[in-house]
């Protein structure tokens, strides 16, 4: 898990950069558990509207199970944050609210950062003989070579 100036993000593999340096810092959570900081990194989150959201100074804290994003971290880097109509809006200081991006939505008693669902592309290659046998309903065509005499009455041609 990562902590970004007081925020948490997934696992170490979610970071684009990670420097595992020893630290005396500890993260205390609401369940009275403490976690030692094991490094620092950065990442970019692609939010649902396709905009990349870059985060720096993420502290690596193994053992945490959920992601958290610190609002004060966003404000410290020059963003304005607003919670409106079940959404988290963020825009740069000194710019218009028209430039606001939706980075999260209200779910239960928390807000969730809106990232697009993971997508994958599947490539499947089918042998033309297998395709032909599937088309004609030959379910067990691979058994043909193991049959001793599949058809009776046809003479062997030598």
Report the pLDDT value the prediction gives residue 83, as an integer from 0 to 100.
92
Reported pTM:
0.55
Q: Give the tens place of pLDDT for each residue, 96-120.
A: 888 888 888 898 888 888 776 665 6
29-84 pLDDT per residue, tens: 777 888 888 888 887 877 766 777 777 777 788 777 776 777 887 888 888 999 99
- Count of residues for the chain? 158
């Amino acid at each position: 898990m990562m902590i970004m100036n007081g925020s948490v993000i997934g696992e170490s593999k979610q970071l684009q950069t990670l420097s595992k340096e020893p630290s005396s810092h500890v993260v205390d959570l609401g369940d009275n558990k403490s976690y030692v900081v094991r490094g620092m990194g950065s990442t970019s989150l692609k939010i649902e509207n396709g905009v990349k959201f870059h985060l720096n100074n993420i502290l690596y804290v193994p053992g945490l199970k959920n992601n958290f994003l610190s609002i004060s971290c966003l404000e410290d880097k020059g963003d304005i944050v607003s919670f409106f109509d079940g959404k988290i809006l963020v825009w740069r200081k000194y710019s218009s609210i028209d430039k606001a991006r939706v980075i999260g939505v209200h779910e239960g008693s928390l807000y969730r950062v809106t990232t697009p669902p993971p997508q994958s592309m599947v490539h499947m290659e089918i042998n033309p003989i297998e395709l032909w046998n599937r088309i004609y309903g030959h379910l067990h065509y691979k058994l043909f070579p193991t049959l001793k005499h599949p058809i009776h009455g046809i003479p062997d041609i030598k």
